[in-house]
Amino acid sequence: MNTPDNSPAFDRLFEAVASRGPVCVGLDTTVEYLPPRVRESYASPAEAILAYNSALIEATADYAACFKVQIAYYEELGLAGLRAYAETLRLVRSKGIVVIADIKRGDIADTASRYARAHLEGEFEADCVTLNPYMGLDSIEPWLAVAERRGKGLFALVRTSNPGMRDFEALELAKGGHVYDEVAQRVAGLSDRGRGRHGYGALGAVLGCTERQEAASLRQRLRGVFVLIPGYGAQGGAAEDAALLLDRHDGLGNGGVVNASRSILKAWSAAGLDPALTGLEEAAEAARAAACTMRDDLAAACAPGGAAK
């Protein structure tokens, strides 16, 4: 177990991206994504999921800047699932790798402080979390206080990659711009809070990569804001779209990570492996290859002369 590192999470993440590329492996793990043989060799879904996560973390760590764990997949399994969730966070952190808890919590005042203590320290401690800003800055502020103190990172939802994003996030405002522009501006306005040596504040943003123009223009206004980019792979986003949302540092994309979940978790299936014959090792190897390809695609799209200019 590495000693805990209280330096700003986005400094650690920046350095991980610089050395291993911007892939974020999403551990949105359900037994439905596991090869039947693997699924059947464990006594419970939670045990199978934990074993699968463990194998995939080992297999993809060379090509991943970080991991993201979607808590809904674990809450679904009740207390046993949440035990596997906590253990997954510990596995990633024990390798000195940043783990993002995709929890999208959003609540105010005292409640927000309690959520912050729940997810930035203690049994469910992660390095970064995702937050929902709907209720306003007083739902972010208590998290920021804990994040600054403990070297954690936060990603507030700004513009997501789902179709329903049009319903409220993209509403046009009387003063111009959209709801997400206002959220972006308020997030950027807090970028001096907990700013690390690579220039990013403790409050980051979730920025979907499904509409190029719009998302890229938003990125311009999110200076000093580290971004989490969902929507890659299974959700339809391409390397070029994601590359537009990364800053350029020494000809490489940085200042953000690009998440893929299903395309890595189910890489064994996309690779055409026989469901009846695929074991943990083969599934992990397929995940490793998928992460490697994704890293290479993103590097090509970010390179000078690459698809994203």
User: 65 CB contacts (<8 Å, ≥6 apart)?
Assistant: 13, 16, 17, 20, 21, 22, 23, 24, 98, 257
Q: Is 191 exposed, middle or buried (0-12, 13-18, 19+ CB in 10 A)?
A: buried
Q: In the bound complex, what is the minimum distance in angstroms from residue 83's beta carbon to a second copy?
A: 6
The answer to whether residue 78 forms part of the interface with a second copy (CB under 8 A) is yes
Print the binding letters for residues 127-156 with a second copy: x by CB under 8 A, - otherwise: -----xxxxxxxx-----------------
Total residues at the site for a second copy (CB under 8 A)? 56
Tell me the CA distances in angstroms from 255 to 55, 74, 75, 244, one per residue in order.
28, 29, 30, 11
Q: CB of residue 264 vs a second copy: minimum separation in angstroms?
A: 16
Position 270 contacts a second copy (CB under 8 A) = no
How far is it, in rounded angstroms, from Cα 125 to Cα 123? 6
Contact positions with a second copy (CB under 8 A) in 155-184: 157, 160, 162-169, 171-175, 179, 182-183
User: Is 161:134 a contact under the CB 8 Å cutoff?
Assistant: no
Minimum Å gap between C-beta 292 and a second copy is 26
CA distances from 288 to 25, 90, 238, 291, 295 (A): 10, 21, 19, 5, 11
289 binds a second copy (CB under 8 A): no
Q: Catalytic site residue 95?
A: no
Q: Which of 68, 95, 104, 266 is catalytic?
A: 104
Sign of CA dihedral 24, 27, 32, 36: positive
Kindly tell me which residue out of 11, 13, 28, 198 binds a second copy, with binding defined by CB under 8 A: 28
Active site residues: 104
Question: Which residue ranges make up the site for a second copy (CB under 8 A)?
Answer: 28, 30, 70, 72-73, 75-79, 82-83, 86, 104-109, 111-112, 114-115, 117-119, 122-124, 132-139, 157, 160, 162-169, 171-175, 179, 182-183, 186
